Amino acid sequence: MLVVVSILAFAFVHLLPGDPARMMAGDDADQATIEMLRKELGMDRPLPVQYLTYMKNLATGDLGTSLRTKLPVFDEIMLRYGPTMYLAIMGMAWSVIIGVLFGAAAAIYNGKWQDYTAMMLSVSGISVPQFWLGLLAIQFFAVYLGWLPVAGYTGKFSELILPSFTLGATVAAVMARFTLSAFLDVLDEEYISTARAKGVVESLVMWKHAFRNALIPVVTMVGLQFGFLLGGSVVVETVFAWPGLGRYMIEAVGVRDYPVLQALLLLYSFHFVFINLLVDMVYALINPEIRYE
């Protein structure tokens, strides 16, 4: 699977128009400098040779060095993996807490004001552009109130709050809509009627019988969204100058930093494979009837 991805990654990246040597050499470079760099970067060799070298290195776990900074790609990615991971986890936490609560509330109080409020907020959450929400949050919490840092990440928790909230808000909205519909579907099931007929207290019906079952599609959604978040949100990482993978990707595309792009594409595919596995395992936890032989 990952072998196929690695071939595709190499092919895609080299199909992009533009020449890394030209970009590295700078705006006012002469041809001699560009030729020298092309040689230095190993790009004067035929493509199949470059591909074989790339695969050979990959097999030994060597992702190569960034053309732009000459630092090892592996180190550069590890440096940015943490910040993106924290951002994804915190963003996911915000979105699950807010999204599932809102969704559940809307389902339980179906047709009442709680329902309308929760759904109105979630529609706004889906519609609001992330960069606008981020800049607004910066203006209010960082410039006007002066409570939180504007941008950047140097390891402080306070720096994580605004970007993760901005990231989480959009996902929360999706999550709320999803929880609502899953919940309503479950409430229509016969075992809920049975439970009520048996005289089980309403709150127990909701939390024990309905909620747990409604969670299954929600977990799928969480997994899927988390896969995207781990790739690094380009918009949030740009607005908040976050030293993560999303911005790294954008910078690398801009100068055609082939080894970095190839490594990131591989990493993203790995994320999705891994997360899908994780989601399947969580299903089994929530509903013991799902078993994998």
Partner 1 sequence: MKRVILVLLVSMLLVAPSYAGTKDIIYASESTAKSLDPHDTSDTYSGAIERAICQGLMGFDKDLNIIPLLAESYTFNDAATQFTFKLRQGIKFHDGTPFNAEAVKVNIERMMTGKYKRSSLMKPVESLQVIDEYAVQFNLKEPFGAFVNAIAHPGSLILSPKALKTYGDEVSKHPVGTGPFIFDEWVSGSHVRIKKNPDYWRGEVKVDSITFRPIPESGSRLAMLRAGQAQYIYPMPAELLKIAENDSKIDIIKQPSIIARYLVMNTRYKPFADVRVRRAVNYALDKKSIIKIGWGGAATEADSILPPNLQFYKKQAVWPYDPEKAKTLMKEAGYEKGFEVVFLTPNASNRLRVTEMAQQQLAKIGITGKIESMDIASFYNKLESQKVDDASPLPFIGFGGWSASTGDADWGTRPLISTDAFPPAMSNFGFFADKKVDDFITAGLASADPDVRKKAYADLQDYVWAQAPWGYLFVDTMLAAKTKNLKGIYPMPDGAFSVESAELTD
CB proximity list for 202: less than 8 A, separation 6 or greater? 196
Residue type, 8: L
Distance from chain centroid for Cα 99:
17
Q: Does 212 bind partner 1 (CB under 8 A)?
A: no
Q: Does 238 bind partner 1 (CB under 8 A)?
A: yes
Q: Does 173 bind partner 1 (CB under 8 A)?
A: no
Sign of the dihedral through C-alpha 262, 267, 270, 275: negative
**Under DSSP, is residue 255 helix (H, G, I), strand (E, B) or coil?**
helix
Q: Which stretch binds partner 1 (CB under 8 A): 7-15, 155-163, 179-187, 214-222?
A: 155-163
State the alpha helices, DSSP H only, in the chain: 2-15, 20-25, 31-40, 47-59, 73-108, 113-127, 130-137, 158-187, 190-198, 202-204, 212-230, 234-239, 245-255, 258-286
Residue 90: Cβ within 10 Å count: 19
**Under DSSP, is residue 19 helix (H, G, I), strand (E, B) or coil?**
coil
Q: Does 203 bind partner 1 (CB under 8 A)?
A: no
Q: Does 158 bind partner 1 (CB under 8 A)?
A: yes
Q: Does 156 bind partner 1 (CB under 8 A)?
A: yes
- ∠ CA 104-107-111 to the nearest 5 degrees? 140
Q: Does 280 bind partner 1 (CB under 8 A)?
A: no
* Nearer to partner 1 among residue 71 and residue 201 (C-beta): 71
Range 11-70, binding partner 1 (CB under 8 A): 16-19, 22-34, 36-37, 40, 68-70
Contact pick of 139, 196, 202, 207 for partner 1 (by CB under 8 A):
139
CB of residue 210 vs partner 1: minimum separation in angstroms? 19
CB of residue 285 vs partner 1: minimum separation in angstroms? 17
Contact pick of 239, 260, 261, 264 for partner 1 (by CB under 8 A):
239
Contact pick of 12, 147, 207, 274 for partner 1 (by CB under 8 A):
147
CB of residue 94 vs partner 1: minimum separation in angstroms? 9
Note whether 165 and 94 are within 8 A (CB). Answer: yes
Residues in touch with partner 1 (CB under 8 A): 16-19, 22-34, 36-37, 40, 68-71, 76, 79-80, 93, 97, 131, 134-135, 138-139, 142-143, 146-154, 156-158, 161, 238-241, 243, 247-248, 251, 253-256
